[in-house]
Structure 1
């Protein structure tokens, strides 16, 4: 049996996911609305299909091909008899799942052909999942007409003719259309078919476990605070292999347009790279190849370390003992000639807002006998209204590290060595 945490090959990850989601939904409906044997059996069938597909068993793909194919025909007939956009959406979605099962069966067959080389097999089985996800503080308000305007603004073209059911004009077909309603929208564009998900639920069912596994505090808080997610997926038409840079740029452009003040982080599902959302991350996403480096954090990492750790206590003691060195160097800066480049003087300080305490770097702008004045050099995780660049003041006894440049070399940074020792010890314990 394949390890359950290992995603299936042959481009069937999303197929298994949606089969499981539909199965759970049918089980809920079958129980909540009063015991309904037919609905319960259908729900169990979808769940079994999801498990079999996840385990890369051909039986699961054959069952999925039959079930999804029947659902495609059913909703196709409903669309023809009583046209409604949701019936068309269901029909197109189930048609896509049917194709994925058929494509998975074909790739599975080719994978086991003895004449096929390993290189060809790998190429066929590693079809990319082109998708980006926004973790949201709350669900975004979205309608098909709003989404169509965003698509036109980011991709260009005319997508308005698909907005209304009463638009029977054939004179202007436009460049595509946008249909659907929360939580699923479909975009038909010259570059392919896209799905936009807008769900009012955590992205991970095991969200608490994901949060616990994240060591960087800023990223952990973003994942912990999200209650909804929004994604843009490209459904690659036929057997065409899209240019990854171009495909991800199109997805990223629309995703950046959909982001708002409630956006907390961005996820690339194919690699599970996660990054805290910021203007810098948004700008970086709009450059070729940025999707491959999404795990690179723009902010300095925030790592939880106990104050009573011996290595950290020793580093703080050294910083306090040598504090007069920093004061002397800072005061000598006033003697620099006008136009000379001034070196940066920063301190790491213990700053508390309400019940939240962080050790954070501060650009020093002034020293008093008992107080330090400066601007936050990093974005805090949870210090109220404080953010990068906020002016702060604190007593000298709250300084736990410092740094300045002397002859192009840093002086200070005593805590870095302590952090390195602590992380090496933790990694050794995990082994």
Structure 2
């Protein structure tokens, strides 16, 4: 798969960033404990593992599918000492948080970067379509909104002149108007045709 500078998209972006973050944390701990007698060679080991996790996070950002399993294994190896500490030394909040964070991240990498998930994401991009986005505005009380009022709001926000379709009248074909600006429907269900796309407004 070719390298792409844009974000992986959706939860994959967050997962990649968290992977890089955890790698940076272990690198920082490894550098801070380098050469200390308390931890022996653990500082160098943590630094090495942290650098590998950072590299894996960068490759995940570019949607490199084969790095999925190595990342899960690395995160599992880093989580193992925390699990062992909980078993042998008793309960510790920070060890439990670290274990839970690494475990969740490993599962998320396994799920979000599976071949099927990457294939579905690529298919959406190639088709030029994206899932519908819904926005909700919660008000303390209901507000009256009709097609004429919505048309004025659209003009104030986006510019241009928006026509109001009469109730029961169908909208003209969009191919006849390269930049359609129409508002129709009846409260609570209204719709807006604009050059940016079709918007459905549910005022309840």
**Whose strand fraction is larger, Structure 1's or Structure 2's?**
1
State TM-score, norm by structure 1. 0.25
- TM-score normalised per structure 2: 0.49
* Structure number with bigger Rg: 1
The structure showing larger relative contact order (alpha-carbon pairs under 8 Å, at least 6 residues apart) is 2
